[in-house]
Every structure is written in C-alpha cells, then in structure tokens.
Chains A and B, each alone.
Chain A
Amino acid sequence: MNEIMMDGKKILVVDDEKQILDMYSGFFSMKGYGVQTAKSAEEALEILEKEQYWVMFLDLNLPGMSGVDLCRQICRDRPMAICHAVTGYGSLYELHDCRKAGFEDLFIKPAGLRDLLEAAEHAFKKLERWRKGGTM
C-alpha cells in the first residue's frame, strides 16, 4: 500500500466519453494529481493489473461491464480502494445499489468540479490517515 504514497496522488477515471475524460485529465492534472483514463470497465481492469490506483471516478453506464460491477470487482480485489460513482441519471435506488457495490459516493452529472476535487482530496486524506495509523 505504501506504493501509493511513493507514486504520488494518482486518480483513475473511467468514462466512455472522450470529452469527459479530457475534462477530468485537464482539471485533476491542473490540481497536481496524476490522472489515468479508461474508456471501459474492461480497460480499467487491465490498467489496474499493471498499476495501483486507490482513488477512482467511475461512470455507471459503460459499454460492456457496468460501473457498478466494476466497482464491485475493484472493491473485492482491493478493499481499500475508494471509488466514486458519476452518473447521468441518478435515483435513490441507484444510490442504494452504489453504496452496496462499495462506492464511497455518487455524483450526478453535471457534477461541479469543486465537488469532485473535494471528494478526491478527502479520499487521499483518508488513505493517508489509514497509512499513518498502520491500518493499511
């Protein structure tokens, strides 16, 4: 787990729309984060096999495997990962499903950049606290 701190603060973003990935990359890079993007859940899993990411933003409606299933698999393999759901259509039912799958939070598009940044900062703070406390 210490690897994450040595690697710096990296975020994995999964969305099937290039414009949205560009937006995430531009914004989080500007704020000093490393950003890796994937256009599908399958691509994200391939990336995660090679590299460790602990903070993620996942679109729910993805081609192939859904964002909810992706989160479920990530949380099963990496229980300390912090995944945030971002969706174009949200309901209470969806939030319930997201929490059950292991998502930290759910953002409805159009999500404000400040909210996303706050979520990322909060996630990294939490990881740092876990690391310092020796729980990871």
Chain B
Amino acid sequence: MKILIAEDDLTSRTMLQAILGKWGYEVIVTCDGAEAYAALQQEDTPQLALLDWEMPVLDGAAVCRKLRTQKRNDPLYLILLTSRGNREDIVLGLEAGADDYITKPYDNHELRARISVGSRVIKLQDELRERDKLQGVLEMAGAVCHELNQPLQSVSAFSELLLMNLGDNDPNLEMLKNIRGGIERLGKLTRKIMNITRYQSKPYLGKSKIIDIEAASRPEER
C-alpha cells in the first residue's frame, strides 16, 4: 500500500519515511502542502496521506480543505500530524477535512495503529465502491442480455429450422452454417455477460475503459 507524506522538516520527514518503509509501505515523499496537493492529483496516487499541519505554501489543514472540495474517484484518508494538541485545533483540523489527527511527538505504535485504521476504512470504501459499480454493471448486463436474447432466440430457432430442412447438397448450406456459427458466438457472449460476478475493467481507446467480460465472468463461462 502507498502512503503520501508531506513534511517540511527534513529530520521528521526522513524518520517518517524510514519507519513507514520498515512497515512495508511504499512512501511518496513531499516537502510542502502544494507539492502534496499536486502529487495527490496524479493517477494511481496514494489513498492515505500523512500531512504535517505547519508547512510552507499550503499548510496541512488547507490541503485537506482543498482536497475535500474535489470530486474524486478514489476515496482519500487524511491524517494530520501536528504539535497543536488542544481541543480547538483538533476540531479545526477535523473540520478542515482530516479523517484523523496525531499529535507530535507521536508514539510509533499509535501511528501504526492509526494507519491501520485508515487502511481498513479505505478498503471498506473501495469494497463499497466496487459493489456499487458491480450493481450497475449487473443491471446493465441484465437489460442487455434480456434485450439481445429475445431477438437472438428467434434468429437462432428459425435458422435451426432452416438447417433441418436443407439438404446436404443445398448451395445455401454453408452460408447457413456460418450464420449459425455467428449466432452461437453471440449466445456464448450473452451467457458470459450474464455470469459477470465482479467489477473488472480494461483500458480501451485513450483514457476510456471497458468492462473486461472475460475476467469479470465466472470461470466456467470463460
């Protein structure tokens, strides 16, 4: 899992980077709020950020405030790090959009535990998001399959009837067999769509994505 840190103090930043690395996190390091904000606009950016409150250009609370005005695809979990420990500051920080708040000097065990909470929340949000997407995909799949399979049933059955009535030497036999082949492929495709069990997309043209039917459907239908 990736974590972004924003800390202007070199010593604190180095220590934080080292301990997070030791715990197995991939760390993206920034030195001020503006840099952190810019890094969080990139694709495949970390979903969890540790932001120092006191920083030049943009402070941690201002970063939170700016990020919360955005409509984002990936949910962000923001933890403010600060030496401001009084109740008013905590309220101010949380109201700015932080999800959690750790006062310096912090205990490493507490930091690790709070990061774990953040990871759990992100995982849960991701699962909910995936469930919503899957729900949408399934509803669309149901409608598409139903609408496609109705005419497909007629075409399939009438072509099967024709095939039953054609002699082995009929010049149209090959053409009809090709038509049957196409119908069977379409039938297999709608069955795959009906068996979509998870949300899985793949890149298409440019930045657009399409559902990866092969990967998203149950193995037995692939």
Contact = CB atoms under 8 A, between A and B. Distances in A.
Nearest to A60: B146
Interface in A80-136: 86, 88-91, 108-114
A17 B154 contact: yes
Nearest to A113: B160
B103 interface: no
Interface string B145-156: 111111111111
19 contacts: A17-B154, A19-B154, A20-B154, A20-B157, A26-B161, A27-B161, A30-B161, A86-B153, A88-B146, A88-B150, A89-B142, A89-B146, A91-B194, A110-B155, A110-B183, A111-B156, A112-B160, A113-B157, A113-B160
A86 B157 CA distance: 13
A88 B183 contact: no
A23 interface: yes
Contact of B194 (A27, A30, A90): A90
B75 interface: no
Nearest to B195: A91
A61 interface: yes
Contacts, number: 59
Interface string A25-41: 01100100000000000
Size bracket of the B interface: 20 to 34
Contact of A23 (B158, B187, B191, B194): B158
Interface of A: 17, 19-20, 23, 26-27, 30, 61, 86, 88-91, 108-114
Given A108-B194, A113-B161, A23 B146 contact: no
A89 B86 CA distance: 59
A27 B156 CA distance: 12
Interface of B: 142, 145-158, 160-161, 164, 183, 186-187, 191, 194
Contacts of B157: 20, 23, 27, 110-111, 113
Nearest to A23: B157
A106 to B, nearest CB: 12
B154 to A, nearest CB: 4
A109 B194 contact: no
Nearest to A111: B153
Contacts of B154: 17, 19-20, 23
Contacts of A110: 149, 152-153, 155-157, 183, 186-187
A17 B146 CA distance: 12
Given A108-B191, A110-B183, A110-B187, A88 B149 contact: yes
Contacts of A90: 194
A113 B150 CA distance: 15
Nearest to B156: A110
Given A89-B142, A89-B194, A108 B149 contact: yes
Contacts of A113: 157, 160-161, 164
Contacts of A27: 157, 161
A26 B160 CA distance: 12
Contacts of B160: 112-114
Given A17-B150, A110-B186, A114-B160, 19 more contacts: A20-B150, A20-B153, A20-B157, A23-B154, A26-B161, A30-B161, A89-B142, A89-B194, A91-B194, A108-B191, A109-B153, A110-B183, A110-B187, A111-B153, A111-B156, A113-B157, A113-B160, A113-B161, A113-B164
